[in-house]
Chains A and B, each alone.
Chain A
């Protein structure tokens, strides 16, 4: 059983995944309250599914980028759990979790995350039949007003899109498709699936070695 934890931004999510089945998942909005909400939700999810930390075989965590504080909360708690149970700890990046949930499409996908101070981080992904969505660009940090000018072909924009962002994207009309709200959520179920792929490939690290990714 793998426990997945994502508190990288104000959108938080946890999941339990046994490698075949996503046994449970909980996503919630938590504005600067991750320290208060995370441990109780993990405790509740484990209890709800009748399992315990002793039955876990791996921990996966979103290692950023995102809010520095948010990322560190998830990583610190994950390190505490992984170290004490001698479990492998797998780190996955924020936008990889988001794009893993998006259906295939020939258009490029702009994946967005909030990085604080009204700025966003984004990267452009393209779908490849064999490997799914693959990043074409590195993460770039911009203000919302700068993003429309960077989209030069019909595209999908997904992720943490503010009201201001939605209004700006609307100026691009049909050139940009913004999916329905559920697609914007980073779900820990997908984090768990990415982590299982790494776990099966033997790409796992010790808890001491995982370092958060800082956008700046």
Chain B
């Protein structure tokens, strides 16, 4: 029987709802981005994020079903992100999902947002460099975004081992902060990547936090080094210097991420590497990882790198098949980690 799952994702600043068939076919993938709201603050403003979610959720849900040419009665279940994320954002999606599931007598499937980022790799994208579900365990995943930087060993469906993660800023957060220092705009990832194309990655000698013997990361020292270097410069910064700094900063982040990811994949002899999260849209990161290994390194189209409902529906499908169902008491878990 065909399984059609509606995936609801509101853990941060995207109101995203999607319908996915059998965990692999994306029938619709609607995302209302709050980019313009948060751009004026240079980062996510939680209360504004919550307000935007409650406004957007009904139109986004309607569009997701409309694009899939389905009605609520055609769904098998509703999957929803219950953590980790911003509390106000999470509870908007979760309570909307409860109302919809209660009303339509559909099962409610709780999904860990991070798990969603892994299951995005089972979705059919038809894009070069994507796994499209052609995967064998064990797998090594790097989830790298504005909120997360983690290395996860996935031994089988639903079986995860946290190998390491950032001790301070997430990589995407560092991109945002450095972009603000360089006055490149928000979000910082694409802005820095674009500027870096014109710059010399060896122009500035920035530190790399290797944290040997661990799979942990640290980006706060790098961020401080950028700030110190910029303060030492006299006079107005030329476009050339901005591009050089963007390139040097990006090279430092990318080198550490790629190197440690490859080390972990070698140690655990994984069959492939999965790159997920907003920062995985960065082409320099993809190139750096692929240049260092013969193991396949899979990456997603940009719309599936950042937060989306399709990945929640995909993860929700595996959980549905495993018999996981939420009680009506399901609460948000803003600090949810790997079980």
Contacts and interface: CB of A to CB of B under 8 A. Distances in A.
A and B are partners in one complex rather than unrelated chains: yes
Contact of B58 (A37, A38, A42, A79): A79
B61 interface: yes
15 contacts: A35-B95, A35-B331, A36-B329, A39-B102, A40-B327, A43-B102, A72-B91, A76-B96, A77-B98, A79-B54, A80-B95, A80-B96, A81-B99, A84-B72, A206-B58
B72 A35 contact: no
A116 to B, nearest CB: 12
B126 to A, nearest CB: 32
Interface centre among B61, B93, B96, B101 (most CB of A within 10 A): B96
A76 B89 CA distance: 11
Nearest to B94: A35
B91 A69 contact: yes
B228 to A, nearest CB: 39
B328 interface: yes
B87 A76 contact: no
A78 B332 CA distance: 18
B212 interface: no
B54 A76 contact: yes
B100 A75 contact: no
B304 interface: no
A83 interface: yes
Contacts of B54: 72, 75-76, 79, 211-212
Given A69-B87, A77-B95, A84-B99, 4 more contacts: A39-B98, A40-B329, A76-B93, A214-B51
A80 B100 contact: yes
Interface residues of B, number: 34
Nearest to A52: B105
A20 B91 CA distance: 34
**Closest 10 CB pairs between A and B?**
A80-B99, A76-B95, A80-B100, A77-B99, A39-B328, A208-B58, A81-B99, A80-B96, A53-B103, A77-B95
A145 to B, nearest CB: 26
B88 interface: yes
A207 interface: yes
B92 interface: yes
Interface in B35-68: 47, 50-51, 54-55, 57-59, 61-62
A199 interface: no
B104 interface: yes
A28 interface: no
- Per DSSP, chain B at the interface is helix
Contact of B103 (A73, A80, A208): A80
A117 to B, nearest CB: 14
B97 interface: yes
A47 to B, nearest CB: 11
A85 interface: yes
Given A40-B328, A211-B55, A35 B102 contact: no
Contacts of A38: 95, 98
- Per DSSP, chain A at the interface is helix
Interface string A172-216: 000000000000000000000000000000000011100110100
Contacts of B94: 35, 76
Nearest to B58: A208
A144 interface: no
B103 A85 contact: yes
Interface string A42-61: 11000000001100000000
Contact of A68 (B50, B72, B327): B50
A37 B100 CA distance: 16
A83 B98 contact: no
Interface in B212-249: none
Contacts of A79: 54, 57-58, 96, 99
Contacts of A40: 327-329
A35 B99 contact: no
A191 B54 CA distance: 21
A179 to B, nearest CB: 32
A82 B62 CA distance: 12
A92 to B, nearest CB: 17
Contacts of B87: 69
A39 B227 CA distance: 49
A210 to B, nearest CB: 9
Given A35-B331, A35-B332, A40-B328, A83 B95 contact: no
Contacts of B47: 68
B95 A208 contact: no
A36 to B, nearest CB: 5
Contacts of B57: 76, 79
B332 A83 contact: no
B103 A81 contact: yes
Contact of A208 (B62, B91, B331): B62
